[in-house]
Structure 1
Amino acid sequence: MAVGRIIKALSGFYYVQSNEGVYACRGRGVFRNKKITPLVGDYVEFEVRNEDEGYIMKVKDRSNELIRPPIANIDQVCIVNAATSPDFHPLLLDRFLVLIESKHIQPLIFITKMDLATQEEIERVKEYQAAYQSIGYEVKLLSSEEPQRNSDVMPYFKDKVSVFAGQSGVGKSSLLNMLDPNLFLETAEISKSLGRGKHTTRHVELLPIGEGLVADTPGFSVLEFSDLEPEDLGVCFPEIRRHMPDCKFRGCLHDKEPKCAVKTAVNNGLIAEFRYQHYLRFLEEIKMRKPRY
């Protein structure tokens, strides 16, 4: 039995990378009965049937998974924002951060188009950079005019599986191509052996970048907190999580409760006011969600 990792799923085939090469595999019928769907990023056991084909026999346990995009065993999510065009949007960034934190995945924050920003926009972005770094997040400011600044992020990809996330127009594809100018060229070559057409991001695929793998995905299509309960939300804000044990009441939602350590930390400037307001907004959204039966 061979072992490998699924690097692409397309048209009912799972392309499994092993030490011996890439095999186009089908899933066993038993998976359908057990409602197991192999995902890109899964480690699997498979039977080789001929030179480059096989059958997946077992999907190994996952450390984590995302549904949209469908991918498993992710080490980090790189959230890409623009300093301008579109404007930097901390509310949207926090929405991404909460979703990623809820899956226990490491986030990285990249802010692109610094070279296109006005001085006022640059100062605004740097203020937010300081706020997020004080929480413990890595925040990198990137510019197409300064390739050196971009190459500084390459070590973050070493030996990791990374996913890129961000709204349309922030430059995710441009950033990927800047990190590895051969990426699109190599993608065209891969298509000959893996049956892939021209470069589109309609399916998920792991591509080699900087001694690691980066998921080329259609992006996060849903940014709703459908899996989060109100009491789970605070854990997804690291600075709130740190103060939660000091709240007087167990199950405190840090909203209207008395003797709340989180609200005290906000008043004392230990938690940024904008982050707390985003927390309250997300909390209300989760509370207003229709109940699931």
Structure 2
Amino acid sequence: MKGQIRKALSGFYYIEAEGQTWQTRARGNFRNRKITPLVGDQVIFESSNLTDGYLLEIQPRKNELVRPPVANVDIGVIVISLIEPAFSYNLLDRFLVTLEDKEIEPVIYLSKLDLLPDNQLAEEIRTTYEQIGYTVIATQDIDDARRQLFRLFAEGVTVFMGQSGAGKSTLLNKLVPELELATGEISESLGRGKHTTRHVELLPVAGGLVADTPGFSSIDFLEIEAGQLRHLFPEFVRASVHCKFRECMHLKEPECEVKRQVAAGEIAESRYADYQQFIEEIEKRRPVYRKKNK
């Protein structure tokens, strides 16, 4: 039979097929072939009952994320906190670069507006990223948030992602109260949230599927090469057609349009500073050596 993995937990894969949920295990040769089934995978499986099936084959993926581990994602909603934990342009740009690399449509959701004395920071962020072309949702009205997000959910598989304590599960609970997802408090000593989501699961919401995923506090670029990075900043791509050199890296090259636009305030300095930092991180990244099979 054909189906889709909706949840992975304790070595079991829960597959939605023919209007039912089938509990399966992966065949032993998956491990030998170093294949890890992911939530969101379209699969072929066999089973004589709902609790004792075997996963046989994974269909080709259009994309996959490492953190969170989800496949075939259409939209990534980045829930980024304005306070507790404090807002970080750098962290937001890391999420955006990750989604651009996987050709997943990013949506920025600014959480915890109600904890700020005014909307100045939210408006600065909205202006910066809407100019690039990103969708930014910044509202304290949950009905407004529901209208905007539910339109997106209907387009396929949506992943909620963000740092621990940003309010992903809290937001989903407000959008769909019957989900009753676990939420946690902010750790005062660490300044970040406690992990309350322990596994990845696709939940049917508004005609699509939504993943609430474990939060985390950092993102490393393990799969992106330095030469790719300039293609993952949309405003750099638009500006680069006017650079003197076709393969301009926007660093030390003369007559670079990206650098000119940064100096003129047409490209955000924070974005360019993050680009420089990310390049440096990637270039200093230690190579990963894999053991050869004997």
Q: Give the TM bin, normalised by the shorter chain.
A: 0.7 to 0.9
Structure 2 match to 1:189: none
Matched ranges for 1:179-258 at <5 A: 179-184=175-180, 201-220=197-216, 222-258=218-254
Moved more, 243-252 or 93-102: 243-252
Structure 2 match to 1:70: 69
Structure 1 match to 2:269: 273
Structure 1 match to 2:190: none
Q: What is the alpha-carbon distance in structure 2 between the residues aligned to residue 84 and residue 53 of structure 1? A: 46
- Is residue 102 of structure 2 the alignment partner of residue 103 of structure 1? yes
Q: For 2:43, what is the secondary structure of its paired residue?
A: strand
Unaligned runs of 5+ in 1: 187-198
- Is residue 160 of structure 2 the alignment partner of residue 164 of structure 1? yes
Q: What is the alpha-carbon distance in structure 1 between the residues aligned to residue 132 and residue 98 of structure 2? A: 17
Change (3 A) 1:159 1:19: farther
Q: What is the alpha-carbon distance in structure 1 between the residues aligned to residue 66 and residue 83 of structure 2? A: 30
Structure 2 match to 1:264: 260
Structure 1 match to 2:146: 151
- Contact 2:163/2:218 (8 A) holds in 1: no
Number of residue pairs matched? Answer: 276
Structure 1 match to 2:172: 176
Q: For 1:50, what is the secondary structure of its paired residue?
A: coil
Tell me the CA shift for residue 250 of structure 1: 4.0
Q: What is the alpha-carbon distance in structure 2 between the residues aligned to residue 248 and residue 185 of structure 1? A: 52
- Contact 1:69/1:221 (8 A) holds in 2: no
Tell me the CA shift for residue 200 of structure 1: 5.0
The amino acid that maps onto 1:213 is L
The amino acid that maps onto 1:78 is V
- 1:109-161, CA deviations, whole angstroms, 9 ceiling, x for partnerless residues? 00112222112xx1122022011001010000132xx3322222222211421
The amino acid that maps onto 2:77 is C
Moved more, 64-73 or 130-139: 64-73
Moved more, 212-221 or 233-242: 212-221
Q: What is the alpha-carbon distance in structure 2 between the residues aligned to residue 292 and residue 148 of structure 1? A: 47
Give 1 or 2: higher helix fraction.
1
Using the size of structure 2 for normalisation, the TM-score is 0.87
Change (3 A) 1:24 1:251: same
Q: What is the alpha-carbon distance in structure 2 between the residues aligned to residue 149 and residue 264 of structure 1? A: 38
- Contact 2:3/2:44 (8 A) holds in 1: yes
Structure 1 match to 2:86: 87
> Among the aligned pairs, what percent are the same residue?
50
The amino acid that maps onto 2:135 is E
Change (3 A) 1:125 1:51: closer
- Contact 2:169/2:181 (8 A) holds in 1: no
Unaligned runs of 5+ in 2: 183-194, 290-294
Using the size of structure 1 for normalisation, the TM-score is 0.87
Structure 2 match to 1:128: 125
What value does the CA root-mean-square deviation take over the aligned residues?
Answer: 2.1
- Contact 1:4/1:16 (8 A) holds in 2: yes
- 1:151-196, CA deviations, whole angstroms, 9 ceiling, x for partnerless residues? 222222114211111122221111010010000289xxxxxxxxxx
Q: What is the alpha-carbon distance in structure 2 between the residues aligned to residue 147 and residue 14 of structure 1? A: 33
Tell me the CA shift for residue 246 of structure 1: 3.1
The amino acid that maps onto 1:140 is I
Q: For 1:81, what is the secondary structure of its paired residue?
A: strand
Structure 1 match to 2:188: none
Change (3 A) 1:51 1:101: closer
- Is residue 149 of structure 2 the alignment partner of residue 139 of structure 1? no
The amino acid that maps onto 1:71 is V
